[in-house]
Amino acid sequence: MDQEKLRVAIIGCGEVCRNHVRGYLRSDRYELVALCDVRPEGMVAFDKHFNGSPNYNPIHFVDAETMLSEAVPDVVSIGVWDGLHKGMVDLCANAEVTAIMCEKPMSDSTLDAWEMIKVCEDNAVKLAVGHQRRFLPSYNLVREAIANGHIGDVHLLTSFARDGLPNYSSHLSDTFRYLLGDPECLWVMGNVERFTDQWARAVPIEDKALGIFGFAGGAQAFILSGLTDYHGFGGRIYGSDGTIEFTVSEMKIMSFDSAGWVTHRPDGDFELYGAEDFEMIEAGAAQMTEFARWITGESANFRGEAINGYKALEMVHAVYESARTYSQVILPMKPDINPLEKMIDSGQLPVLKKGKYDIRARPWDDVPTTPSQD
């Protein structure tokens, strides 16, 4: 007997939620029943992209409250800009949806992010944050290799980023925790440079940053953001008995047990290694499949549960707090507004190159610039 599909609605028809929808449809556990965006043309672009896909039958809405009332979805994906996440989560939680998938970064402040967790707990709504790379086969191989002691005790993880810590590096801070088995981050030290008036999805970001993180168990990690010409959602891990290099599709390991570098290129459950856009197809579908199992009670746990998204955001905001206070920051921090905004408002980070601009306020394909999360 075919399993009854979960009814999904999308709030914010930008490029990010296209990836959500692709994951929902590829997993075959959902029916897409509604789209909501203040721009009708954004929803039309969605329809053009997914036209003819099985389980894609959305009605269009320009008001989220009306959509929730009339479409009655089980699951809602939220892909509006960061500062709007809390309002949409509050609305959906109080409408008694079953589950919410919120795009990362979880919010523009840890204060709002913490309140999002609480409103969902109060309404018995399952809240997830879209750090989809937790579901990549190469990441899972790295996590298993570390857990099985193949490189001994992990001493250091390194990654290189760009485009602002919350926007880009919340993926990396989440990756560090995931690969290490989700230990607590105990302390953070960092600094930032902000000579330009740069923003990402209406949230101010820095030009350059260095963040160093210390974890329970003794491992440390660092992120260099905007300081190098190279960047990516991979890195290198140094252990007492070996080294791992990883990307979104491969793992290379060198240890005392190997004669040199050994490369692993795993296929996914939904796509083969080397396929075009392998990362987003595989991660998205695997994420939404496990999400469905969590929603229906088939699984007690979900690796994208909101607390992990919160801790990823807290880690990068702790870099800002370290720069603001010129000190090591001990975690957990008290939920608060964005420390970078505090520095900007106080004059601690004066802009030297005038001209405010948003790096993500740009059209994707035929979708005009929008408060959707592009």
What is the per-residue pLDDT across 65-104, written as a single tens digit (0 to 9) for each? 999 999 999 999 999 999 999 999 999 999 999 999 999 9
**Are residues 212 and 108 part of one domain?**
no
- The answer on 334 and 226 residing in a single domain is yes
Q: How many domains does the chain have?
A: 2
Q: What are phi and psi of 47, to 5 degrees?
A: -60, -40
Is a pLDDT exceeding 50 seen at residue 366? no
Q: Which of 177, 141, 183 is CA-nearest to residue 159?
A: 177
User: What percentage of the chain carries pLDDT values higher than 70?
Assistant: 96
Identify whether 108 is part of a domain: yes
Decide: 324 and 62 in contact? Cβ < 8 Å: no
Judge if 100 and 193 occupy the same domain: no
Write down the mean pLDDT value for the chain.
94
Element (H, E) at 104: none
49, 73 Cβ separation under 8 angstroms = no
Indicate whether 124 and 212 sit together in one domain. Answer: no
Query: Does residue 282 belong to any structural domain of this protein?
Result: yes
Residue 263 lies in a domain: yes
Per-residue HEC secondary structure of 21-87 comes to HHHHHHHCCEEEEEEECCCHHHHHHHHHHHCCCCCEEEEEECCHHHHHHHHCCCEEEECECHHHHHH
Q: Is there a single domain that holds both residue 71 and residue 157?
A: no
96 touches 123 (CB < 8 A): yes
pLDDT interval class at 368 (50, 70, 90)? very low
State residue 204's pLDDT score: 97
In a domain, 369, yes or no: no
**pLDDT digits 0-9 by tens, 178-207:** 999 999 999 999 999 999 999 999 999 999
Instruction: Please check whether residues 263 and 339 belong to one and the same domain.
Output: yes
One domain, residues 40 and 157: no
Per-residue confidence at 301, pLDDT binned at 50, 70, 90? very high
| Residue 352 belongs to some domain of the structure | yes
Strands 208-215 and 126-129: unpaired
65 part of a folded domain: yes
Q: Is the same domain home to 192 and 337? A: yes
344, 259: one domain? yes
For the cut 60, the answer to whether the pLDDT of residue 364 exceeds it is: no
Q: What's the pLDDT score for residue 238?
A: 98
Q: Give the model's pLDDT for residue 15.
A: 86
Domain extent at residue 251:
135-271+311-358
Question: Who wins on pLDDT, 1 or 149?
Answer: 149
pTM (whole model) above 0.75: yes
Task: Answer whether residue 368 is part of any domain.
Answer: no
Residues 107 and 156 reside in one and the same domain: no
Which two structure tokens, joined as six digits, stand for 354?
Answer: 């005038």
Assess if residue 113 is contained within a domain.
yes
